């Protein structure tokens, strides 16, 4: 959910818009056979925004009847109308006959669609991508922000985001970080044919924030009654790290660094000044996300100096308010999901510069978001708890 959307956003940043023709030697890597490999010519294309499947096949030199054959072959397996910009399609042609032998489309990071010519007919199937996994351990100390510290170590940005996502409910990577905070995390790196592709699962992570240790371990309890995988990050006692509120209404990558030393305009919760909110300094247009599931109970202009403001009612106890927006992206009455973008940072109303004014209201009283500690949403089932605790021992040792 949250994690996936962020990773997709990053993939979009990396998406090119080119067609290239490459004689590759990893053709048919499933059954790597040099004779077979030399028999075929590969045409790879990265899908451009607006491209349809027939535009792509035409550009690759396929006839309309071959294109039809591919669409027919895949219709029960994958709808080729739902191919997406930024993804790759590979075509393999017989060098002699110039006939298309195979097409591979990367549906997502987990699965590929294969269409093969078998006895003159195209047949399709989805295959799970089998990555080679290497385990990587990374640790560091923060002197400005987690993002900068990790980037300085040449860690894949997607791995840093995955780490931040583990702690998205427990650590405010904006206001809550202190100089000297430390982190250590162990994650999978995915390789294919010896080439690094992307980070995989974060397996174990520890963050020491202002002296307080937070640990998270990935665990999967198997398939539940609703056929969904029961998995997630849990603390050493088996309590889920997921909570009803994210710690931060702005993704940590967008928060100005240096705020803890007062270099940027920012205000904390302060009863004596009457500022019962947190102000996050962030650039104009930065996405603002709702910290929890709920319903929009206000989306519009506030006459009390808040400018464009959105209020989300989460339950009978909690409402959160987001003010001074430059743009509102939700409507009154709409339901929203945790992490969903509801507007953009601005400086409307009584404001001296772009920032997000963020309030949590509990039973009608504004409370300090920094010190609010919500209970875990779920825990490892009692019957699995002992197995879980044994399982994490090894990871705990590795974190020590």
Which residues lie near Zn ion (CB under 5 A)?
277, 279, 357
Q: Measured from the CB atom, is 238 or 343 closer to Zn ion?
A: 343
CB-facing half-sphere around the CA of 317: CA atoms within 13 A: 5
In the bound state with Zn ion, the residue whose beta carbon lies nearer, of 277 and 281, is 277
R_g (Cα) of the chain, nearest Å? 25
H-helix or E-strand containing 354? none
Task: Between 30 and 273, name the residue whose CB sits nearer to Zn ion.
Answer: 273
CB of 145 to Zn ion, least distance (A): 21
Between 241 and 309, whose beta carbon lies closer to Zn ion?
309
Nearer to Zn ion, 70 or 277 (CB): 277
Query: Cα separation of 278 and 18, whole Å?
Result: 44
Between 147 and 269, CB nearer to Zn ion:
269
What is the closest distance, in whole angstroms, from the C-beta atom of residue 364 to Zn ion in the complex?
Answer: 19
Residue 289, both tokens = 């996300």
Beta-bridge mates of residue 6: none
Q: Which is nearer to Zn ion, 165 or 279 (CB)?
A: 279
CB of 14 to Zn ion, least distance (A): 35
Minimum CB distance to Zn ion, residue 277 (Å): 5
185: nearest Cα among 222, 231, 153: 153
39: helix, strand or coil: helix
Residue 267 Cβ vs Zn ion, minimum distance, rounded to whole Å:
5
CB neighbour list of residue 109: distance below 8 Å, 6 or more residues apart: 129, 198
How far apart CA 224 and CA 156 sit, in angstroms, is 33
Q: Is 378 helix (H, G, I), strand (E, B) or coil?
A: coil
- Write down the least CB distance from residue 305 to Zn ion, Å: 10
Least distance (Å) between residue 275 CB and Zn ion: 6
| Closest chain position to Zn ion (CB) | 357
Q: How far is CA 15 from the centre of its chain?
A: 16
According to DSSP H, which parts of the chain are helical?
2-14, 34-39, 53-59, 64-74, 146-152, 157-166, 382-399
Helix (H, G, I), strand (E, B) or coil at 350: coil
């Amino acid at each position: 959910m949250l994690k996936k959307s962020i990773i997709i956003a990053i993939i979009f940043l990396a998406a090119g818009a080119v067609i290239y023709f490459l004689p590759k030697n990893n053709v048919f890597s499933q059954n790597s056979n040099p004779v077979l490999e030399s028999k075929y010519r590969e045409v790879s294309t990265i899908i451009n925004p607006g491209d349809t499947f027939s535009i792509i096949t035409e550009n690759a030199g396929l006839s309309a009847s071959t294109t039809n054959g591919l669409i027919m072959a895949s219709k029960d397996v994958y709808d080729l109308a739902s191919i997406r910009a930024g993804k790759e399609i590979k075509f393999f042609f017989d060098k002699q006959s110039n006939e298309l032998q195979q097409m591979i489309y990367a549906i997502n990071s987990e699965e590929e669609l294969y269409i093969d010519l078998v006895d003159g007919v195209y047949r399709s199937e989805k295959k799970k991508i089998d990555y080679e996994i290497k385990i990587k351990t990374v640790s560091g100390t923060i002197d400005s922000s987690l993002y900068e510290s990790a980037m300085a170590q040449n860690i894949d940005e997607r791995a840093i985001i995955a780490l931040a996502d583990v702690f998205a409910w427990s650590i405010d990577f904006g206001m809550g970080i202190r100089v000297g905070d430390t982190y250590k995390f162990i994650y999978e790196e995915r390789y294919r044919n010896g080439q690094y592709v992307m980070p995989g699962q974060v397996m174990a992570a520890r963050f020491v924030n202002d002296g307080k240790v937070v640990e998270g371990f990935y665990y999967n309890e198997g398939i539940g009654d609703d056929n969904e995988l029961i998995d997630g990050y849990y603390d050493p006692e088996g309590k889920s790290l997921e909570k009803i509120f994210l710690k931060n209404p702005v993704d940590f990558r967008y928060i100005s660094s240096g705020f803890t030393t007062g270099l940027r305009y920012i205000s904390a919760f302060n009863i004596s000044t009457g500022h019962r909110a947190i102000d996050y300094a962030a650039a104009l247009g930065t996405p603002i996300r709702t910290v929890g599931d709920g319903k929009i109970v206000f989306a519009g202009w506030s006459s009390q100096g808040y400018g464009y403001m959105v209020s989300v009612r989460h339950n009978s106890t909690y409402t959160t308010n987001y003010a001074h927006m430059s743009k509102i992206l939700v409507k009154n009455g709409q339901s929203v999901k945790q992490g969903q973008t509801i507007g953009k940072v601005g400086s409307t109303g009584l404001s001296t510069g772009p920032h997000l004014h963020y309030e949590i209201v509990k039973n009608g009283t504004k409370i300090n978001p920094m010190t609010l500690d919500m209970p875990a949403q779920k825990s490892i089932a009692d019957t699995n708890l002992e197995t879980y605790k044994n399982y994490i021992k090894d990871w705990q040792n590795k974190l020590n």
